[in-house]
């Protein structure tokens, strides 16, 4: 079928578009930035080069017509109300999300959800096939679209296909619980290159192929299609737009707003901050428990110390999320009731999304940033915090179970399951002399500045181009021309590094088993 609209050399497919369609009661349509780290990262990548983004507009029903947004061609894919329930809330977020995050809550398996996941993945693949130019690079994102690589390969054998997993990939013992495990692996193996946040995730994937499919594997490669093709699975940890965010954080109005925020919570000696999607993986309950105990044991207390917890609404129709919200709000109420003072609440709890400027101001206002997930693929909030601290102020408390910790190991590391240990870490972050904290912050900032999202995208695309199964003229049409064309190609040394050792991008784990 000939393409009906424009085609692009780079096509991103992600469950969500970077903007969500919101229809007000009076029928007025508004586009709002979509939640989550995937959108934050991919939007900054796509703003710097021409390309198309295939995704859902966040609303059930017919898809809006394709449109341009800040230079990105957005191609909406429709989801019916049943598909929102079965594919998105069901299979993606009530089956895969728990399995991929260490089963912090039990996963639910329903065959109708799986059927819906297949149908929606097919629709995404068809949309990708429509907007991809001859020999394009197709870059599929995340756990919602694991069947898309193989489906696109069938429809468009001429394109080069990559997939990046923004979340962890589980150990085979957990992955094996999925009744559709073989189909998911086969879907992914349709790609030329598979990117993961940590080496442990890539290794888990390769092991799953060996143990569950009987595939032949060697280091980071899986052999498929009767030895005709190899797929590479390697770690390339994602990052933030360091330069763009730092510039924003240096704006006088943003810095003034940071001072205003501090003043509005009573100019405390220590302002602690938590910023998360309201998700059970983020360890918000553990953080509140540690904080509550520190207060009730009088190690800390308002008005000298306060906690601002910003919790973005997320997946609110899924039971585990609804229950979590109720529990968090009850806990905050109890802490304030028992340990707050008139005019000096112990916790300021906000259940909203904020503009980027406000987030940058919040980060600058915070003396201690609490990032305590039980499991997180990366956690961009940790990297955003250090990016915004151009003043070298602040301290980052960071869970060992985040991808970010594998790069930011100078941070105040914590195991959020160990409440006593978490309390001690928070106290250390408060009490460490300012000079030492500045030294730490400098090191953290250097790491993020040197490994920003632009470098991540360049490394990813170079690894995709250099993946083992280079297209041959018989099977793939004309050779892909993009290696010379993309403005995002890395410097030669970096290209060689990515081509040779894409799997060694992350700092090796220290002291954490995965």
Which of positions 111-150 make contact with ligand ADP (CB under 6 A)? none
For tokens 């595939």, name the residue.
215
Cite the beta strand spans of 358-411 per DSSP E: 368-371, 395-399
**16 binding partner (options ligand G6P, ligand ADP, none; Cβ < 5 to 8 Å by kind):** ligand G6P
Instruction: Select 105 or 275, whichever has its Cβ closest to ligand ADP.
Output: 275
DSSP 392: -
Of residues 13, 16, 137, 370, which one binds ligand G6P by CB under 6 A?
16
Nearer to ligand ADP, 90 or 283 (CB): 283
Q: Distances from the Cα of 325 to the Cαs of 286, 311, 314, 456, in angstroms?
A: 14, 9, 10, 34
**Residue with Cβ nearer ligand ADP (134 or 358):** 358
Q: Considering the complex, what minimum distance in angstroms separates the CB of residue 410 from ligand ADP? A: 19
Q: How far apart are CA 315 and CA 324, in angstroms?
A: 11
Residues 278-317 that bind ligand ADP (CB under 6 A): 310, 312
CB of 451 to ligand G6P, least distance (A): 19
Query: Which of ligand G6P, ligand ADP, none lies near 183, with the C-beta cut-off 5 to 8 A by kind?
Result: none
Residue placing its CB nearer to ligand G6P in the complex, 211 or 314: 314
> For residues 340-359, which are near ligand ADP according to CB under 6 A?
352-354, 359
Asked if residue 324 binds ligand G6P (CB under 6 A), the reply is no
Question: Can you count the helices (H) and strands (E) in the chain?
Answer: 20, 18
Closest by alpha carbon to 385, among 279, 290, 258, 512?
Answer: 258
Rg of the chain in Å (alpha carbons): 23
Instruction: Return the residue of 378, 388, 467, 498 that touches ligand ADP, per CB under 6 A.
Output: 378
State yes or no: residue 378 binds ligand G6P (CB under 6 A): no
Q: How far is it, in rounded angstroms, from Cα 131 to Cα 471?
A: 20
36 binds ligand ADP (CB under 6 A): yes
Which whole-number Å values give the CA distances from 113 to 54, 148, 271, 327, 450, in the listed order?
Answer: 22, 16, 44, 27, 42
**Segment 64 to 93, residues that bind ligand G6P, using CB under 6 A:** 93
Q: Is 315 in the site for ligand G6P (CB under 6 A)?
A: yes
The region of 29-37, 123-131, 467-475, 505-513 touching ligand G6P under the rule CB under 6 A is 29-37
- Residue 86 CA to residue 474 CA, distance in Å, equals 40
**Binding residues for ligand G6P, total number by CB under 6 A:** 12
Q: Please, which residues bridge with residue 233 across strands? A: 194
**Does 55 sit near ligand ADP (CB under 6 A)?**
no
> Using CB under 6 A, which residues numbered 438 to 477 contact ligand ADP?
none
CB of 36 to ligand G6P, least distance (A): 3
80 is a site residue for ligand ADP (CB under 6 A)? no
- In DSSP terms, 139 is beta-bridged to 12, 162
**Could you write out the DSSP letters of every residue in 109-146?**
--HHHHHHHHHHHHHHHHHHHHHEEEEEEEEEESGGGT
Contacts for 450 with CB less than 8 Å, ≥ 6 apart: none
User: Residue written as tokens 């068809």?
Assistant: 126
- What is the spatial distance between Cα 503 and Cα 220, in angstroms, rounded to a whole number? 7
Q: Does 166 bind ligand G6P (CB under 6 A)?
A: yes
- The DSSP call for residue 65 is P
Q: How far is CA 246 from the centre of its chain?
A: 20
Residue with CB nearest ligand G6P?
Answer: 36
40 binds ligand ADP (CB under 6 A): yes
168 binds ligand G6P (CB under 6 A): no
Partner interacting with residue 49 (select from ligand G6P, ligand ADP, none; CB below 5-8 Å by kind)? none
Are the C-beta atoms of 253 and 357 separated by less than 8 Å?
A: yes
Member of 132, 167, 288, 371 binding ligand G6P (CB under 6 A): 167
Which of ligand G6P, ligand ADP, none sits in contact with 142, Cβ below 5 to 8 A by type?
ligand G6P
Per CB under 6 A, residues contacting ligand G6P are 15-16, 35-38, 93, 142, 166-167, 314-315
């Amino acid at each position: 079928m000939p393409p009906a609209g424009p085609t692009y050399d780079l096509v991103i497919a992600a469950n969500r578009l970077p903007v969500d369609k919101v229809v007000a009661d009076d029928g007025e349509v508004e586009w709002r930035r979509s939640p989550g780290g995937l959108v934050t990262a991919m939007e900054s990548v796509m703003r710097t080069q021409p390309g198309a983004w295939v995704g859902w507009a966040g609303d059930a029903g017919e898809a809006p017509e394709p449109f341009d947004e800040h230079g990105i061609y957005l191609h909406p894919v429709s989801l019916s109300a049943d598909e929102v329930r079965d594919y998105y809330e069901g299979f993606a977020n009530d089956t895969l999300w728990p399995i991929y995050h260490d089963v912090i809550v039990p996963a639910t398996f329903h065959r109708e959800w799986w059927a819906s996941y297949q149908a929606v993945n097919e629709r995404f693949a068809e949309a990708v096939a429509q907007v991809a130019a001859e020999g394009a690079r197709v870059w599929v994102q995340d756990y919602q679209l694991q069947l898309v690589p193989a489906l696109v390969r069938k429809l468009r054998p001429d394109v080069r296909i990559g997939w990046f997993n923004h979340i962890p990939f589980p150990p085979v013992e957990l992955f094996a619980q999925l009744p559709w495990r073989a189909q998911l692996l086969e879907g992914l193996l349709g790609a030329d290159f598979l990117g993961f946040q940590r080496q442990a995730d890539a290794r888990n994937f390769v092991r799953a192929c060996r143990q569950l499919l009987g595939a032949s594997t060697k280091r980071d490669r899986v052999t498929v299609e009767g030895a005709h093709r190899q797929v590479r699975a390697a770690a390339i940890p994602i990052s933030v737009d360091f330069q763009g965010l730092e510039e924003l954080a240096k704006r006088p109005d943003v810095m003034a707003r940071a001072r205003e925020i501090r003043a509005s919570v009573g100019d405390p000696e220590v302002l602690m901050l938590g910023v998360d999607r309201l998700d059970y993986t983020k360890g918000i309950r553990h953080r509140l428990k540690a904080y509550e105990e520190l207060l009730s044991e009088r190690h800390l207390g308002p008005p000298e110390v306060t906690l601002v917890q910003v919790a973005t609404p997320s997946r609110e129709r899924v039971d585990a999320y609804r229950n979590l919200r109720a529990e968090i709000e009850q806990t905050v109420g109890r802490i304030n009731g028992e340990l707050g003072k008139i005019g000096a609440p112990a916790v300021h709890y906000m259940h909203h999304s904020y503009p980027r400027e406000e987030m940058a101001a919040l980060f600058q206002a915070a003396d201690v940033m609490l990032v305590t997930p039980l499991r997180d693929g990366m956690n961009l909030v940790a990297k955003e915090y250090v990016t915004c601290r151009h003043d070298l102020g602040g301290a980052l408390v960071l869970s060992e179970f985040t991808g970010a910790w594998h790069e930011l190991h100078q941070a105040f590391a914590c195991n959020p399951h160990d409440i006593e240990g978490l309390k001690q870490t928070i106290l250390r972050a408060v009490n460490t002399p300012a000079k030492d904290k500045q030294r730490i912050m400098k090191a953290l900032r250097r790491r993020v500045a040197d490994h920003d999202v632009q470098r991540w995208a360049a490394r990813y695309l170079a690894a995709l181009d250099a993946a083992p199964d280079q297209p041959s003229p018989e099977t793939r049409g004309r050779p892909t021309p993009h290696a010379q064309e993309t403005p995002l190609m890395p410097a030669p040394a970096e290209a060689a590094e990515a081509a040779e050792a894409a799997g060694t991008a992350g700092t090796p784990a220290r002291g954490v088993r995965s």
